[in-house]
Amino acid sequence: MSRIAFTAVAAAIALAGTAASFPSTVAVSAGKKVSCGADVRNFILVGEAWLAKGAEASLWFHTTTQPPTTQPPTTQLPNHPTTQPPNHPTTQPPNHPTTKPVSGYEVLFHNGPIDGSRKTGSLSHVRNLYRSMARDEEWFPFEVVVREKNVEVRAGAESAAPVVRYTEGEKPYRLPQYAKMLFSRGDFVFEGRKGETKFRDVVLIPLKDGVTNPDDIFPYADESTDPVIRLQQEDFPVINFHAHAKGGFTPEIAYNKSLVDGINYGLAVNIYGKIVRKGDGGVGRMIENDDEALEYLRGMNGLPVINGFQGEGRKWTMSFTQRSLSKCDYIFTDSMTVVDRNRQIRLYRPDEMTYNGRSPEAWMEFYVDQIEKILLNEPADIYVNPFYLPRELAPRFDELWTDTRINRVLDILVKYKIALEINSLSRLPGHKVIRMAKARGVKFTFGTNNQNANIGRLEWALEAVKACGITKDDMWFPTDSVRLSRQTTIYNTIIE
Ligand SMILES: [Zn+2]
């Protein structure tokens, strides 16, 4: 992953004498648009942005406006290189009144919490992002690089890792209203949406025809059939909240895959508690205490993913406090480990799974009681791998998961505003449970619980969106969380 500072790139190119003088400072407020009189195809555009609290703005590129601007630009054309230091233009920034841009791509500027609104760096309707790496009322660097049909966007205070890398394929999928969101060539337009946004030290560096992005090496989905681009076009948030960096799937690989797939990732690490024996807990790294959890989060700083904790096993509430729990974006838990006769039983391990003498029916009563305890006592935001059954019972799902049992679980999800994961690896839950949950106002997240790099593309979840009529309003976001108002309760006695 390249982590070159924006300003270093701009300075290096400026020194080489190829940078073009450009509107150095632009301020836009709601309804205001500033076009720049440029006509470029391949380019690097760098600068800094500042947003008032709650402000929104966008930067269009490859755009034309209607009606066309009447006056030619008064600044030097960006295609004519200048040796002037780009940060000190002697000309005035152009300020041509324009109407709505009618073609090209739009990069969004909008910070704030993860609430389901589209955030800074988003390539509108194509690669919508839901976490901003920047904060309001602070200058932050941004960079847009277009090389033929590839665009890379960087935006954020903490990192120079791209937040968008997108290549337009042979058959890009676009809704009629976005039919002209395509690469071509054209102007830049700064557009204010809400509040005040300022851009400063903006430098345009034209690039020659035929340049390629050396980091653009992974294959993209064919948009003529890809369901993800269809949801992106509708501004339906596509977020996999249950991605794990494990089995060779490092955070960096996960992040690169998220760029290619156009799926926002929530990367979650397991918080477990004290490891007594080797192999305790689930698959992958197990975090034992607050300090280690905080250290983990510091290590993730700068990677444009959403940061989650998975409460793994049944004793994590004994080892973690709000000191670390309040610092992640969300927490989820599952019911794949239960406590039976004071011992943790991992239901997914045939060598551990035991009914302890119960019939399957009696065991189900025990199991639903366990799920109630877990969700009532562990302050989680999302119930993941939901309604899981041990391998032997899975074929009897419809018989064993009676409406009464399903509703006992849904009661608690409703009570504590806990979201229900639609899990694409286990294909859980099925449409019946999803419809029952939706009818009761339960919100949803998408997840995979990948064990390695085979993370998929949320197939089961995206199918369920269509089949069960799930809308954006049915989706959960970290701003819906009530976990900080809940206690971490020690509710089990576990014999190690
Ligand atoms: Zn997991």
* In the predicted structure, residue 280 carries a pLDDT above the cut 70: yes
Q: Which helix (H) or strand (E) holds 372?
A: helix 360-377
**Measured in angstroms, how far is the CA atom of residue 129 from the centroid of ligand 1?**
22
- For residue 302, what pLDDT is reported? 79
Ligand 1 centroid – CA 267 distance (Å):
10
Give residue 346 CA to ligand 1 midpoint distance, Å. 13
Distance 402 CA to ligand 1 centre (A): 25
Q: Which pLDDT score is estimated for 92?
A: 37
Q: 113 CA distance to ligand 1 centroid (A)?
A: 24
Q: How far is the CA of 377 from the centre of ligand 1 (A)?
A: 19
pLDDT for 21 equals 53
Whether the predicted pLDDT of 12 surpasses 60: no
Q: What is the pLDDT of residue 6?
A: 43
**Mean pLDDT lowest among 111-115, 196-200, 247-251, 372-376:** 247-251
- 8 Å CB contact between 470 and 406: no
Q: Provide the pLDDT for residue 67.
A: 56
Q: Check whether 494 has a pLDDT greater than 80.
A: yes
Report CA(449)–ligand 1 centroid distance (Å): 4
Which element (helix H / strand E) includes 202?
Answer: strand 197-206
Mean pLDDT for the stretch of residues 19-38: 82
The candidate with the shortest Cα–Cα distance to 215, out of 54, 2, 17, is 2
Task: Give the C-alpha separation, 158 to 134, whole Å.
Answer: 7
Radius of gyration of the chain (CA): 25
Q: Structural domains in the chain?
A: 3-206 (2.60.120.560), 236-485 (3.20.20.140)
Q: How far is the CA of 166 from the centre of ligand 1 (A)?
A: 28
- Looking at residue 430, its amino acid is G
User: From CA 424, how far away is CA 459, in angstroms rounded?
Assistant: 6
Instruction: Look at 26-30, 74-78, 351-355 and tell me which has the smallest mean pLDDT.
Output: 74-78
Interval between CA 282 and ligand 1 midpoint (Å): 8
pLDDT of residue 284: 86
In 312-431, the DSSP E strands lie at 330-333, 337-340, 343-346, 382-383, 419-423
Least confident span in 15-24, 77-86, 90-99, 298-307: 77-86
Which is more confidently placed, 89 or 37?
Answer: 37
Among residues 95, 262, 124, 114, the alpha carbon closest in space to that of 193 is found at: 124
Alpha carbon of 244 to ligand 1 centroid (Å): 7
Per the CB < 8 A criterion, the answer to whether 451 and 283 are in contact is yes
Provide the pLDDT for residue 90: 34
Does residue 8 surpass a pLDDT of 60?
no
pLDDT at position 313: 95
pLDDT at 158 over 60: no
Does pLDDT of 131 surpass 80? yes
Q: H or E stretch including 296?
A: helix 290-300
Which residue would you say has higher pLDDT here, 487 or 240? 240
Cα→Cα distances 275→55, 312, 313, 486, 494, Å: 46, 12, 11, 25, 13
Summarize the confidence of residues 263-288 as an average pLDDT: 93
Residues around the ion ligand 1 (C-beta < 5 A): 310, 449
Q: Give me ligand 1 centre to Cα 412, in Å.
A: 21
Tell me the mean pLDDT in the region 339-350: 96
As a whole number, mean pLDDT of residues 36-49 equals 92
450-491 pLDDT tens trace: 999 999 999 999 999 999 999 999 999 999 999 999 987 888
Centre of ligand 1 from the C-alpha of residue 379, in Å: 16
pLDDT for the residue 283: 84
Determine the distance separating the centroid of ligand 1 and the alpha carbon of 450, expressed in angstroms: 7
CA distance 75 to 187: 14
